[in-house]
Each structure stands twice: as structure tokens, then as C-alpha cells.
Structure 1
Amino acid sequence: MAKVIIYSSDWCPYCTRAKQLLHSKDVAFEEIKVDGKAALRAQMAEKAKRTSVPQIWIGELHVGGCDELFALERAGKLDALLAS
């Protein structure tokens, strides 16, 4: 199974939705909370070229945020990515 990393914030409803989807698929993931951590948020922004949360990686692939994660699910592509 691919390693999943999600940069998130406690107050973000999109982060909650993305994590709920991953939990529903029994996917273990590494969560990096950026609340009040300017260095971690800067690291995320440099890697993702985005400043919003969540930012999600499956293996080496930057998926994007919650909307992109759910789009992969709707297209039937998420399970294959997670299995790789």
C-alpha cells in the first residue's frame, strides 16, 4: 500500500472530510498538522505550490486537496493509487 501523507489543520472542514474518506477505506496515513507552525506550513507550500490545507500525497504523487481526493474516488481511481 502506498504511503499517504496529509498536511492538515484542526479547524479545517475539508481536512476532516479527506481524513474521513481515508479512514473509510482503512488507509493509514501520516498527518502533519500545520496549525501555528510556520515552518511546516512553508515546507508544505514549497512542496505543493499551494498554501491551503489539506495537501495530500499518495506515494510520490501530489494529489492536491480534498476536492481532488474526492474526484479520484468518484472516477474510480483512488483505490488503485492507494494500492500502488
Structure 2
Amino acid sequence: TSSLCGFCYRAKSLLKQKNINFQEIDVDNEYEKRVEMIQKSGGRTSVPQIFFGDQHIGGCDDLFELNRNNELDNL
């Protein structure tokens, strides 16, 4: 995540609503984690980039799409 990121806030809110545990990494303050995020996400630099284990989900819109399609609970 990044400070003042509305998409990050929305994604975290959805995960909390669904009682899905998550680890938040502030890439503003952790340069090494930002580099790792970019590498693991195929070059994406926007936040949030959401992962379930090693599986890259995508960003906030991708997370909400999974939820709309009733696929989020299966991950």
C-alpha cells in the first residue's frame, strides 16, 4: 500500500469485510519491498498490488471483480 491511496483503503476495507487476513506492506517506506512488488507483479508499479500467497491477483479493481463473481471466497 501507499499512504493516502484510496484504492488501497477500498481493498483493505473489502478484505476486512470478508474476514480475510492480510499483511499490509507500505511500499512508500520499504524500497526493497516496492522493488519486489514490481518484479512479482510483472512490472506493475501502481498500488495496491494484491497477492494471495505467491498468486498475483492484481489491483483493487481485480479484487472487487473477484468478489462480484463470487470467486474471492475460494482463494
Higher relative contact order (CA 8 A, sep 6+): 1
Structure 1 residue ranges (4+ consecutive) displaced by more than 3 angstroms after TM superposition: none
Q: How many pairs align?
A: 74
Decide which structure has greater strand share. Answer: 1
Structure 1 vs Structure 2: percent identity of aligned residues?
A: 50
Q: What residue in structure 1 maps to residue 56 of structure 2?
A: 62
CA RMSD of aligned residues (A): 1.1
Task: Specify the SS of the correspondent of 2:13.
Answer: helix
User: Among 2, 24, 40, which residue is 1:9 paired with?
Assistant: 2
Task: Specify the SS of the correspondent of 1:57.
Answer: strand
CA–CA distance in 2 between the matches of 1:9 and 1:32? 8
Query: Which amino acid letter does the alignment assign opposite residue 51 of structure 2?
Result: W
What stretches of structure 2 of length at least 5 have no aligned partner?
none
Task: Specify the SS of the correspondent of 1:15.
Answer: helix
- TM-score in terms of structure 1 length: 0.81
- TM-score in terms of structure 2 length: 0.90
User: Among 10, 15, 18, which residue is 2:11 paired with?
Assistant: 18
CA–CA distance in 2 between the matches of 1:22 and 1:30? 11
